[in-house]
Structure 1
Amino acid sequence: MTDFYIETTKADKTLPINSRPKFFAFGIPSYTNLGDQAVSLAQRAYIEHEFPEFQYIEILEEDNDAGIEAVKKIITSQDIVSFVGGGNMGNLYLDHERARRKVFSTFVNNLTISFPQSIHFEDNEQGQREQKLSQEAYQKNPHLVLIARDAQSYHRMQTTFNNHVIFTPDMVLYFKAVDYSLKRSGALFVLRHDGEKVVKESLIGSIKQLLDNGRPLKKTDTVLDSVDRITPINREKLIVDELKLFSQQEIIITDRWHAMVFSVLTGTPCLLFGNSYGKGKHAYFDWLEHIDWIGYTDEEDLDRIDQQISKLIKTKKHAYDIRADFKQLDSLIKYHLEMSGRNI
């Protein structure tokens, strides 16, 4: 039986039948990447806070096919279909891309939103083949709107697909800053262990030596190994626990985009390194360069890295506001409500 998360306290086995417009959120992860889980949490928060007219319904990616069949039976013209953001549109994670294609090519009569993504089809035979399959699937939906979360992806989506493309930050940046008032001590290394990793272990080892001057050094990942499965029921507590962990650090060293976002939210100094296709770098310069306690580097020179880390640690926190950068998404949904005859 398919689980539908209409609330975050329980799973329902049936979809609601009522007059409220529905916002169907497909692709919700159950795997343990807290960055992707935070995206799902932020999407719900965004719709529930900004557009409470909608009944928000999450469908786990593992239930994609059964969920599609159930939604087809009740969907109306006032409803919106979406696919989760935060991941990667392309051929690196094909299970996600296949699920995305099926959703987009099924609900061709409804506004369909692909929440903020990066995009990367590899420049090889497989990448070109999968890109063509995605182009064919996306093209079937004239009401599909793709959202890019960095300028590089915005350009690539525009040149790859014929669908409408808009530009907003990653959804996790919709959240306001948090202050847990915790004592800070030590450096936390939050590093990838997948195919996107490009930072050399020798460089990380040298940075650890730089920071190892009586300061405790810890390592973690935003992919948890302490739980087997995350759903809308337990994800918020796990994300809050991660934010509290970040709030106790003097500095974060990471090559994970969402580790940097967690550092933004908690006011934690952070130095971000790149990944294999530049999503963190481009999104940093698009949205976060003005936040003084966050930095990006491609450097391998230890002296320069040391200077940058020292500066970040000493930087005072300041107010920031990214909310206005979601205005294109706001306008898209407001227009849909107007065309559906709903007062906003």
Structure 2
Amino acid sequence: MSIQSWKINLAEWLLLKVKYPSEFHFGAAKEKQGQTAARKKIILTLLPSHDNLGDHAIAYASKTFLEREYPDFDIIEVDMKDIYRSAKALIKKRHPEDMVFIIGGGNMGDLYRYEEWTRRFIIKTFHQYKIVQLPATAHFSDTKKGRKELKRAKKVYNAHPELLLMARDETTYQWMKRHFPGKTVLKQPDMVLYLDKSEQHVPREGIFLCLREDRESALTDDERNRVKAALTEEFGELHSFTTTVGRRISRRTREKELEALWDTLKGAEAVVTDRLHGMIFCALTKTPCVVIRTFDHKVMEGYQWLKSIPHMTFIERPEPETVAAAVNRLLASETGEGGFSHSVYFEGLREKISGDAN
């Protein structure tokens, strides 16, 4: 029985471990007596199981990056909710070169505490592993709760002997260097920008809108309605999309869900959004995009990676007339569709992670 080429998730591994206890070791060939166990592995964890396509795109892009850049490793994906019960089994089958990669995103801080607590569990539990935190945005509020969470985070992060941190914006980069002075900190864009989804060309029609209605929005309900009214008056019927789809998404369904949304955006004349991944998905699909700020620095600084794209513009104060005028400028522009080359920022990243970069 040869299973060396299998790429499976942890649940499948546990089932196969029961069925083939003497043969199955995390996708490696059968262990020979007297030899060290298993092929070397990368454990990719903190994966989401909720409905936010932005987070699932990060997970999908992170796995794509690891499979391409680390072909000599088996990639083991472990959902955020599964890591607690799976950690012991993973450590038991450790190869000396195994590493842990934690997906990035905007959940470092006290805004999404379960994700932050799980990250700390991973860092504490896998103390003997090299751990790589992929590009993240940090936000600890200046409150009693926020300061308490930051104190705990500093204690855990700083205690790990081989933790590498990546920031996806300048504010987080400076924050990480200040609070974790002994750690290597890299500045890298969101992992979704590693992907390329611009190959398909379809006719573009209609203005699409994707605006937040949660605690990260900088718009009041009235301001949001006024923007919608101004765009409707100027361009007629608007088309809406969202990156939170209202149903749970798994690793088995995420690619299908993402491809469906990317196909939709490829057919849009222009998009107005205040979602980071609404903006990033437009960059991937070469879709003209008007970007509106959110309550913190996440979107504004995420835009800094993309500001050279000719069909993307950022609005700090989204007055309705300003937004409509920005869309008109993009539609009237004679500049060719803009894109983003992941090689600009991701080339040589493996060497940076290993510390071999010049």
What is the TM-score with the length of structure 1 in the denominator? 0.89
Aligned to 1:76: 95
Larger CA deviation: 200-209 vs 154-163: 200-209
Aligned to 1:131: 150
Q: Output the CA distance in 2 between the equivalents of 1:182 and 1:281.
A: 29
Aligned to 2:220: 200
Q: Residues 51 and 249 of structure 2 are in contact (CA less than 8 Å); yes or no, is this contact kept in structure 1? A: yes
Q: Residues 27 and 84 of structure 1 are in contact (CA less than 8 Å); yes or no, is this contact kept in structure 2? A: yes
1:159 to 162, 178, 184: 178
Unaligned 5+ segments in structure 2 are 1-5, 18-24, 29-37
Q: Output the CA distance in 2 between the equivalents of 1:208 and 1:91.
A: 32
For the residue of structure 1 that corresponds to 2:313, the secondary structure is strand
Q: Output the CA distance in 2 between the equivalents of 1:89 and 1:333.
A: 20
Aligned in 2, Cα 1:267/1:8: closer, same or farther, shift over 3 Å? farther
Q: Deviations over 1:202-240 (max 9, x none)?
A: 333233233224533122320112x3x222111101000
Aligned to 2:32: none
Aligned in 2, Cα 1:144/1:194: closer, same or farther, shift over 3 Å? same
Aligned to 1:342: none
Aligned to 1:94: 113
Q: Output the CA distance in 1 between the equivalents of 2:347 and 2:200.
A: 29
Aligned to 1:16: 26
Larger CA deviation: 89-98 vs 311-320: 311-320
Q: Output the CA distance in 2 between the equivalents of 1:49 and 1:56.
A: 11
For the residue of structure 1 that corresponds to 2:295, the secondary structure is coil
Q: Residues 299 and 305 of structure 1 are in contact (CA less than 8 Å); yes or no, is this contact kept in structure 2? A: no
Aligned to 1:341: none
Aligned in 2, Cα 1:144/1:334: closer, same or farther, shift over 3 Å? closer
Q: Residues 177 and 264 of structure 1 are in contact (CA less than 8 Å); yes or no, is this contact kept in structure 2? A: no
Q: Deviations over 1:174-227 (max 9, x none)?
A: 0114243223222221122321111233333233233224533122320112x3
Aligned to 1:218: 239
Q: Output the CA distance in 1 between the equivalents of 2:79 and 2:96.
A: 23
For the residue of structure 2 that corresponds to 1:12, the secondary structure is helix
Aligned to 1:289: 307
Aligned to 2:345: 325
Aligned to 1:58: 77
Q: Output the CA distance in 2 between the equivalents of 1:10 and 1:112.
A: 22
Q: Which runs of 4+ in 1 moved over 6 A?
A: none
Aligned to 2:35: none
Aligned to 2:21: none
**Deviation (angstroms), 1:332:** 3.1
**Deviation (angstroms), 1:70:** 1.6
Q: Residues 6 and 12 of structure 1 are in contact (CA less than 8 Å); yes or no, is this contact kept in structure 2? A: no
1:235 to 229, 236, 254: 254
Aligned to 1:7: 8
Q: Residues 168 and 328 of structure 1 are in contact (CA less than 8 Å); yes or no, is this contact kept in structure 2? A: no
Q: Residues 46 and 119 of structure 2 are in contact (CA less than 8 Å); yes or no, is this contact kept in structure 1? A: yes
Q: Residues 207 and 268 of structure 2 are in contact (CA less than 8 Å); yes or no, is this contact kept in structure 1? A: yes
Aligned to 1:115: 134
Aligned to 1:178: 198
Residues 1:256 and 2:275 aligned together: yes
Aligned in 2, Cα 1:154/1:214: closer, same or farther, shift over 3 Å? closer
Q: Deviations over 1:256-279 (max 9, x none)?
A: 100100001111111111222110
Unaligned 5+ segments in structure 1 are 337-344
Q: Output the CA distance in 1 between the equivalents of 2:339 and 2:146.
A: 42
Residues 1:304 and 2:350 aligned together: no
Residues 1:189 and 2:197 aligned together: no
Larger CA deviation: 120-129 vs 19-28: 19-28
**Deviation (angstroms), 1:149:** 0.5
Identical counterparts, % of pairs: 29
For the residue of structure 2 that corresponds to 1:113, the secondary structure is strand
Q: Residues 88 and 118 of structure 1 are in contact (CA less than 8 Å); yes or no, is this contact kept in structure 2? A: yes
Q: Residues 289 and 311 of structure 2 are in contact (CA less than 8 Å); yes or no, is this contact kept in structure 1? A: yes
How many residue pairs get aligned? The number is 330
What is the TM-score with the length of structure 2 in the denominator? 0.86
Larger CA deviation: 17-26 vs 124-133: 17-26
RMSD: 2.2
Q: In the alignment, residue 292 of structure 2 is paired with which amino acid?
A: F
Q: Output the CA distance in 1 between the equivalents of 2:349 and 2:201.
A: 33
For the residue of structure 1 that corresponds to 2:177, the secondary structure is helix
Q: Residues 169 and 187 of structure 2 are in contact (CA less than 8 Å); yes or no, is this contact kept in structure 1? A: yes
Larger CA deviation: 192-201 vs 320-329: 320-329
Aligned in 2, Cα 1:120/1:319: closer, same or farther, shift over 3 Å? closer
Q: In the alignment, residue 330 of structure 1 is paired with which amino acid?
A: R
Q: Output the CA distance in 2 between the equivalents of 1:319 and 1:175.
A: 11
